[in-house]
A = this chain, B = another copy of it.
Amino acid sequence: MSVYQKIKQEAYVCNMQLPKLGLVLFTFGNVSVVDRERSVFAIKPSGVPYEDLSPEKMVIVDFDGNVIEGELRPSSDTLTHAVLYKNWVEIGGIVHTHSTYGTAWAQAQRDIPIFGTTHADHLTTDIPCAPPMADDMIEGDYEYQTGFQIMNHFTDNGLDYKEVEMVLVGNHAPFTWGKDGHKAVYNSAVLETVAQMALLTEQVNPNAPRLKDSLIKKHFERKHGPDSYYGQS
């Protein structure tokens, strides 16, 4: 049995969650799960329908994008995952989808405003939208540069990837991450529902105000931090 069996299995299970949660059409998405000890991650093979996946088909890749194990070509977005794992050292899983509402906000090139507690339960800021990449980044090593575009946007805006586990890439679509693959998938579903609610909120009231700071703080701390009291700890 492969020494990577554990992450292959988790990557498989997490990839299979995407169609169940309505986050992908055909093969428009991928999940990876990292093994920090071995500095590799397991990722979906490129263009393979979800119904044909199995744990064995997951591809093992190192943080420079080299295939370490597996007979299939890894996701075309592999280098973006690699860059993020290499630089954001506490990430355990990454998800990329073209989910409908998240992608609409990315195409609109707008941050998703924090309008309510559903959003504040998960992060205390707007969901950031990184600008479309410069032409030289696109024409160079595109997927590799996409990782840097995300990281640079976080740095430029003082965002911490451990607190804000999701981003829109302008004109493209969402990326999310988390301590493991399951949390990253969870965050993709949260992003999609928050994106839908935010659009509907603006349709109900074009002047809807952002959530006030006291509520942001309260709801985030209910679920996160030393005094959290949500869940079974």
User: Is there an interface contact between A200 and B46, defined as CB atoms closer than 8 Å?
Assistant: no
User: Is there an interface contact between B203 and A171, defined as CB atoms closer than 8 Å?
Assistant: no
Chain B residues within 8 Å of A214, by CB: 135, 138-139
Most interface-central of A28, A139, A215 (chain B CB within 10 A): A215
User: What is the distance, in angstroms, from A63's C-beta to the closest C-beta of chain B?
Assistant: 19
Pull 19 A–B residue pairs with CB atoms less than 8 Å apart, ordered by A. Answer: A25-B189, A25-B190, A26-B189, A46-B231, A47-B230, A47-B232, A73-B229, A76-B229, A103-B116, A103-B197, A107-B116, A107-B197, A109-B205, A110-B204, A115-B171, A118-B173, A135-B212, A172-B215, A199-B203
Which residues of A are interface residues toward B (Cβ below 8 A)?
Answer: 25-26, 28, 45-48, 72-73, 76, 98, 100-101, 103-110, 115-118, 132-133, 135, 138-139, 142, 171-173, 186, 189-190, 193, 196-205, 208-209, 211-212, 214-215, 218, 222, 229-233
